[in-house]
Amino acid sequence: MKKLMIMLIAVLVIVLALSLVSAKLTGSTTKAGAKTLTIYNWGDYIDPALIAKFEKQYGYRVVYQTFDSNEAMLTKIQQGGTSFDLVVPSDYMISKMRDEHLLLPINSKKVPNLKNIDSRFLNLSFDPANHYSVPYFWGTVGIVYNPKMLGGSKITSWNDLWNKKYRNQILLVDSAREIVGMGLNSLHYSVNDTNKKHLKQTLQKLKKLTPNIKAIVGDENKLLLPRREAAIGVLWSGDAVEIMDENPELTYVIPKEGSNVWFDNMAIPKGATNKKGAEQFINFMLDPKNAAKNAEYVGYATPNREAIRYLPKKIKNDKRFYPDKKLTDRLEVYDNFSKPVNARFNELFLEFKMNH
């Protein structure tokens, strides 16, 4: 009996202690809400030194949390109960979140550094007039390849991939939008084309690529391509940078038929408790020196025109990752598809995968 009492008391004490701790934890976030800034961003997508600098300069405590897909982030924001002050969704997700009233407008007067952004990257289809978002990084979908393994031949277009020479040499990224987009582009259609006839043609065309495809993979391509497992990969420019860091033999090309250009953008989600801090942070990140530092750390292309001056020559003169206006004009941003259209794209991709 005595033992039982002791046990019972022990349990009660633990419960009490835990509830006190949790009360303290939640209390500090709600009470000192004005003093913390909670950022929800992709993993390894900011120079940590900049967070420290921001904390010192503005006196906030920054809480940095990460997600690994737009959809995962969306689900979390939709469910509510979170207090993120700043999120970094991609382009199509911005328009989706805006339509679902999940974003708060950004007061452009509070973000004077917006003027540093290259006008090419403002006022885009997913957020006209940039009411809700400010571009953070951008990049393209393209082809990374190893000229040495291909006997010095050069790839310049999507249609080059269909060349019989490249049998069993291509690794495609396992993503419906990118691969169907590639097929559409190769037929000179827009990546946003949803015409049923065009999509059918695209499937036929993609099926013809089958003998050249070695595999359809995910992030493993960053492991496989530097190791010369295959000579050609279709992927995002940011991954290409990483691969080329590993193995300088490889190079990256944006196909001449056109391709997708994507943006990750800073935005303020509904339920933010520190909107002022979020705007200060956006402004801070748009400062040319900070943006340059961040771009050098992350490796993606910054949309900040003024920041480019502070980048090393090797980076800023690299047309593959900082293409000029002539090229970017040929690139398209993804439209936000409705669920059924999205489903059709995915089923098409599934069918293509089944046949490969």
Report helix, strand and coil shares of the chain as percent, to nearest 5. 50, 20, 30
Compare residues 98 and 222 and give the one whose CB is closer to other proteins.
Answer: 222
Compare residues 197 and 227 and give the one whose CB is closer to other proteins.
Answer: 227
| Binds other proteins (CB under 8 A): choice among 46, 77, 217, 282 | 217
Sign of CA dihedral 343, 178, 262, 274: positive
Does residue 311 sit in helix, strand or coil? coil
Compare residues 96 and 320 and give the one whose CB is closer to other proteins.
Answer: 96
346 near other proteins (CB under 8 A) = yes
Distance CA 38, CA 307 (A): 25
Q: Which burial class, exposed, middle or buried, applies to 305 when counting CB atoms under 10 A from its CB (0-12, 13-18, 19+)?
A: middle
User: 151 to 180, contacts with other proteins by CB under 8 A?
Assistant: 168, 171, 174, 176
Using alpha carbons only, how large is the chain's radius of gyration in Å?
24
Q: Which two tokens stand for residue 282?
A: 């956006």
Distance CA 272, CA 74 (A): 15
Compute the C-alpha angle 96/101/106, nearest 5°: 95
User: 53 to 92, contacts with other proteins by CB under 8 A?
Assistant: 69, 71
DSSP string across 324-336:
-HHHHTTEEPPP-
Stretch that binds other proteins, among 5-13, 190-198, 248-256, 338-346 (CB under 8 A): 338-346
Compare residues 176 and 191 and give the one whose CB is closer to other proteins.
Answer: 176
Residue whose tokens read 């993993």: 43
Shortest Cβ distance from residue 229 to other proteins (Å)? 5
347 near other proteins (CB under 8 A) = yes
Shortest Cβ distance from residue 230 to other proteins (Å)? 8
| Binds other proteins (CB under 8 A): choice among 122, 224, 315, 327 | 224
356 near other proteins (CB under 8 A) = yes
Point out which residues bind other proteins (CB under 8 A).
69, 71, 168, 171, 174, 176, 214-218, 220, 223-224, 227-229, 339-340, 342-343, 346-347, 350-351, 353-354, 356
